[in-house]
Structure 1
Amino acid sequence: MENVKETSAKSRGLEIIKYIAIFTFGGVGYAFIEISFRGYTHWSMVLTGGACMLTFYFLNNAFPNLPITLKALIGAAVITLYELTVGCIVNLWFKLDVWDYSEHAFSLWGQICPLFSFLWFLLCFCLAALTFFFYNIKYHHYRH
């Protein structure tokens, strides 16, 4: 019985490491994209990118049979919601001026806009493939 508990604890530990890796991948990936296009990023974007990636991972695995287009649409909605929430906190409340979409058509408080929601939609096609890859990582347990 002890072996089962030990293996289960190891599996949970490995799952937590996997979630941390997915979060880190999302945070670093988002920072890389932002630096590539804007030339800089902000620490809050690393956290937001990680949270978006991990949330998208959980959603894709909860609903594996959804069509990819619907997954991308849901992912874009999730990312846009994170963007609105974080934007209201860091830009409107703390006045850190991390981004401002006010010049874009139909922006909401300068925090979100249809253009970027569409870009998140396109990005989510790639993220769906990545979440499939992350989900299928298997851990091998060797007895010593």
Structure 2
Amino acid sequence: MRKAVLSLLLWTWTGTTYFFVEVVFKTLRGRPETISWTMLALAILLAIPLERCGAELPWSCPLWLQALICGSMISAAELAVGLILNVWLGLGIWDYSSLPGNLWGQICPQFWALWCLLSLPMIVILDWLRYAVEGGEIPHYTIRF
């Protein structure tokens, strides 16, 4: 039960942090009207594969590979949620149709790469937060290619 509560707290913290970054970014770009509460719910949902990868992948898995796996899982979740919210329900929360290589306007290679890049520090942060609360093995990483 304690691990489930910790995971829920980490998902909420990660999703809320991302949501606030998104709010600042959209506000600075002069597009505050595109901010939606659904982005907070989506951010928390997308934090799940990120946190679970960090918790479940072995320390011997190179950090760059963890980031690629997390970025891919986040993009898969973004595609599934985007098809439901944007295509099926017509909410139009995001649209990548103008970007090259997009898939149904819901995901694109550019944002996949961004998710992979953002996953790298977040994996480390979440591991250290988990360690601070639970204890156990001190986080350590493999960087080899």
Please name the residue that 1:51 is paired with: 45
SS state at 2:133 partner: coil
Count of residue pairs the alignment pairs up: 128
Counterparts of 2:75 and 2:26, CA distance in 1: 19
Structure 1 unmatched runs, 5+:
1-11
Counterparts of 1:63 and 1:22, CA distance in 2: 17
CA apart distance, 1:36: 2.1
Structure 2 unmatched runs, 5+:
136-145
Picking from 87, 95, 105, the partner of 1:92 is 87
Picking from 23, 40, 59, the partner of 2:11 is 23
SS state at 1:59 partner: helix
Identity, % of aligned positions: 30
Please name the residue that 1:63 is paired with: 57
SS state at 2:13 partner: helix
CA apart distance, 1:89: 0.7
- Deviations along 1:69-94, one digit per CA (max 9) or x if unpaired, are 00000011011011111110111011
RMSD: 1.7
Please name the residue that 1:115 is paired with: 110
TM-score normalised over the length of structure 2:
0.80
Tell me if structure 1 keeps the 8 A contact 2:67–2:123.
Answer: yes
Deviates more, 1:52-61 or 1:125-134: 52-61
Structure ranking higher on relative contact order (CA contacts 8 Å, 6+ apart) = 2
The structure number with the bigger radius of gyration is 1
- Deviations along 1:80-112, one digit per CA (max 9) or x if unpaired, are 011111110111011111011011111111110
